[in-house]
Amino acid sequence: MEKGVYIRLGSTNRRATPEMISELKRHGRGIAFETEMDHSKGINDLEDSSLSVFFKTIGQAGYTNEALTKWRVLQKNNGDYFPTVAGLVLFGKRDLLDYDFAGVRLTRYQGTMLSNISESREYGVPLVNNIELICSDVATFLQKESYLEGARRLERTVIPSFAIREVVVNAIVHRDYSMLGSSVKINVFDDRMEVISPGVLFGNIDISDIGTGLSECRNRSIVRVFRRLNLMEELGTGIARIFELSKEKRLKKPLFMEQGQFFKAVLFQRFESESNQDSIVDLIRKNGTSSASDLAGQLDLHHNTILKNLNQLMAIGKIRKVGSGKKTLYQLI
């Protein structure tokens, strides 16, 4: 171990950080970081109102220390009860400043780059109280579309609401809480939303397994609470449904990836046709002028699809046609 520890991720070997080594040791002993006791905290650091709502929701009038221990909110040590990391993340009081790492930061950017912040909001513990607010605030930052329900015209986000909730909840319940210097980040851009959570995929799950129904759970206690509150679907089915909903709406396919020690989910609020048009414009800008055949070859799209998109781009005044017949080229206006 003194010569370095390496882990296999996909087709590459990665040098394990001290945090990763600690997690591997815990995993080998069947211990989760979320169930570790925080001896610097006591029962009074848990928010009674949040606990009462939870137990009422699951059909219990009140709760005892024994009940909290069963749910891994507390652990007993030498006759005394101490809150666990999971208990403080889910039900901790709002003034627990040393648990700010467990929160969520939502940022709206103007444009498509991390350069121009429009607005930022932060949400801390207790996280069970903030899920609805986080998802609602994310929705206010996203693009909307109109639809008819009977005679009424209503509005909804371009990204399906199920997909929004799923990636937000997944980031919170599956993140690595042993990474104390990082919080969950939700970044909303003009064309997409990104959710970045600390920690790579847990256990034997590989990035290629995403959406196949396979799953391993890092934070079993947190997942158990969220499922009883109906805040998440059955394990392993949510991402597959995100892919299906995006395909039904013809949105650009969502992306799920590992970057360093973080996991990122990207949901697009642009339709596939818009994505094609962006790619066409980028290529014409790069080349100066391009033919429909060249564009079809470079983008691996059918010739008729390219022509349809070129006509739409000309109709909105982004490009113009130069020449005629087989010598027809397209350039930016």
Burial of 326 (0-12, 13-18, 19+ CB in 10 A): exposed
What pairs with residue 196 in β-bridges?
185, 264
291 and 213 share a domain?
no
283 and 260 share a domain?
no
pLDDT band at 9 (very low <50, low <70, confident <90, very high): low
10 and 26 share a domain?
yes
Residue 80 has pLDDT above 60, yes or no: yes
Write out the two tokens for 164: 């929004």
287 and 213 share a domain?
no
Please answer whether residues 106 and 123 qualify as being in contact, where contact means their C-beta atoms are separated by less than 8 angstroms: yes
- Taking the C-alpha atoms of residue 274 and residue 264, their distance in angstroms, rounded to an integer, is 23
174 and 247 share a domain?
yes
The predicted structure's pLDDT at residue 196: 98
CATH no. for residue 321?
A: 1.10.10.10
pLDDT band at 37 (very low <50, low <70, confident <90, very high): very high
Which of 270, 298, 321 is the last residue in one of the domains? 270
10 and 74 share a domain?
yes
Which of 95, 118, 148 is the last residue in one of the domains? 95
* Average of per-residue pLDDT across 75-83: 95
Q: Tell me the pLDDT tens digit for each residue of 118-168.
A: 999 999 999 999 999 999 999 999 999 988 888 888 899 999 999 999 999
110 and 241 share a domain?
yes
Residue 60 has pLDDT above 80, yes or no: yes
Instruction: Count Cβ atoms below 10 Å from residue 170 Cβ, excluding itself.
Output: 23
Residue 101 has pLDDT above 70, yes or no: yes
192 and 161 share a domain?
yes
**Per-chain mean pLDDT for the chain:** 90
Tell me if 1 is assigned to some domain: no
Answering whether pTM is above 0.85, one says: no
Domain of residue 294: give its range.
273-332
Bin 113: left if φ > 0, else alpha if -120 < ψ < 50, else beta.
beta
140 and 175 share a domain?
yes
- Taking the C-alpha atoms of residue 183 and residue 236, their distance in angstroms, rounded to an integer, is 23
Residue 78 has pLDDT above 60, yes or no: yes
Which residue from 143, 141, 119, 159 is spatially nearest to 266, judged by alpha carbons? 159
- Taking the C-alpha atoms of residue 270 and residue 251, their distance in angstroms, rounded to an integer, is 6
The predicted structure's pLDDT at residue 185: 98
* Average of per-residue pLDDT across 27-39: 83
Tell me if 71 is assigned to some domain: yes
